[in-house]
Structures are given as structure tokens and as C-alpha cells.
Amino acid sequence: MLVLTAVMLGACAKNIVVETIFPEPVIQSLPLNIGIHLDTVLTQYTYTEDLPNDIEWSFDLGQANKKLFDGIFTALFDITVPVNGNGGPDPIYAPLDAIITPTIEAFEFSLPRQSHSEQYSVWIRYNLHIYLPDGSLITKYPVSAYGQSDSRTFGASAAMEEAVIMAMRDAAASIVMGFAEEQKIKETLLSDEDSS
């Protein structure tokens, strides 16, 4: 009876653990020394939603977030170092040009029956909080990302995981292409480079 109950409960939920290696962007790195603060909210992020007339979907993006941002920032900057805060009087922050703390602000998904298509779709909104070494905020850089996967190619769980991965890759591309063009970042961190 216990085994049967467990099987029935398992059939009423989809648990998506995103396990992937993101390709490192091939780009010219920016001449910056950046502290990277990946807090546990990001690296242990999970999202669960119990859809009406459907099953419960649960997403574990924690380790995928860590891999994503480690890869992006290693490629984007000359030097990156892990830090445990957003700057301040601690001497550890003094050699840095800035500290970046990524956060995940929203996660949404849709099923084929909701969109009346063959697609599983995912939307993720990240925010890069960028600080000076003294802890003062330079800017919040929003990153909206979208991914989709065809239900005819994969099973439900695999298709949804693929949609999440595509959304995260979309976020990576947005950051790599747009970071140096964000106005506050250009003015505060890259003005010397522009004038040379």
C-alpha cells in the first residue's frame, strides 16, 4: 500500500532538476576586476507551482544558476573573485572595480495545453545588482530571458528542462552582449577604457 501511494504521488508531480554545462562565451573580456557574490537564494533556488487541473511542477535551478554565472563572468571579465557580500569597509573589497550580485526575480512557465501549441515555454527574470567596492549601488541591470521546447521532440519533463536551459542561455547572451552597453556601467566602470 505504501509503495502504491508513493507511485501515485510521484505521478502527480514533475520535478525538474536542471543539470547542464553551459558553453563558455567566446568574447573579448573587459579589463575589470570583479567580485562575484552568489548567495544561497540564487544557488539553492527552487520554484514550485501546483497548476489547477494539472500536476505540481517543481524546478531546481540552484546549481544551474551557479554554473551559468560562473561561466558568464569568467569570460566577461579579466579577473573574477568570489566574495560573501556587496562591498563595504572590509579590505578584501578594495582591489575590486565592482561587485556583482545576481538575483532571480521571477520564474514563469506554460504548458502546451495553456498556449494551445506544441511548446513548453519558460520565462526567467534575473537582476544584476552592481556595487562599488564601498557598497554603494551603481545600478540594477535587469535581464529577461525566454526559452521553449517542442513537446513532439521530448517527453514532458525533458521538454520542460530544455525550455529552462534555453531561457538560461538566452539570459547569458543578453548579459554578454549588453553588459558593457548599459549606461550606468559605461559611465562608472568603463569610461577610462572609452577615452583611451
Q: What is the pLDDT of residue 24?
A: 83
What would the grid cell of residue 63 be?
Answer: 546549481
CB 111 within 8 Å of CB 54:
yes
Where would I find the beta strands (DSSP E) of the chain? 13-17, 30-36, 46-50, 56-60, 77-82, 98-110, 119-131, 137-150
Most confidently modeled of 26-30, 95-99, 118-122? 95-99
Q: Is the pTM of this model over 0.95?
A: no
Q: Select from 139, 147, 145, 146 the least CA-distant residue to 180.
A: 139
Which domains, and CATH codes, for the chain?
Answer: 2-16+26-195 (3.30.160.150)
Alpha carbons 117 and 111: distance in angstroms, whole number: 8
Q: What is the pLDDT of residue 193?
A: 54
Please, which residues have CB within 8 angstroms of residue 193's CB and are 6 or more apart in sequence?
30, 31
Question: For residue 111, is pLDDT > 50?
Answer: yes
Query: Worst-scoring range by mean pLDDT, 5-9, 109-113, 151-155, 175-179?
Result: 5-9
Question: For residue 196, is pLDDT > 90?
Answer: no
% of the chain residues with pLDDT over 90:
73
Average pLDDT, the chain: 89
- The mean per-residue pLDDT over the stretch 145-169 comes to 91
pLDDT band at 192 (very low <50, low <70, confident <90, very high): low
Residue matched to cell numbers 520564474: 107
- The mean per-residue pLDDT over the stretch 33-60 comes to 92
Q: What is the pLDDT of residue 154?
A: 78
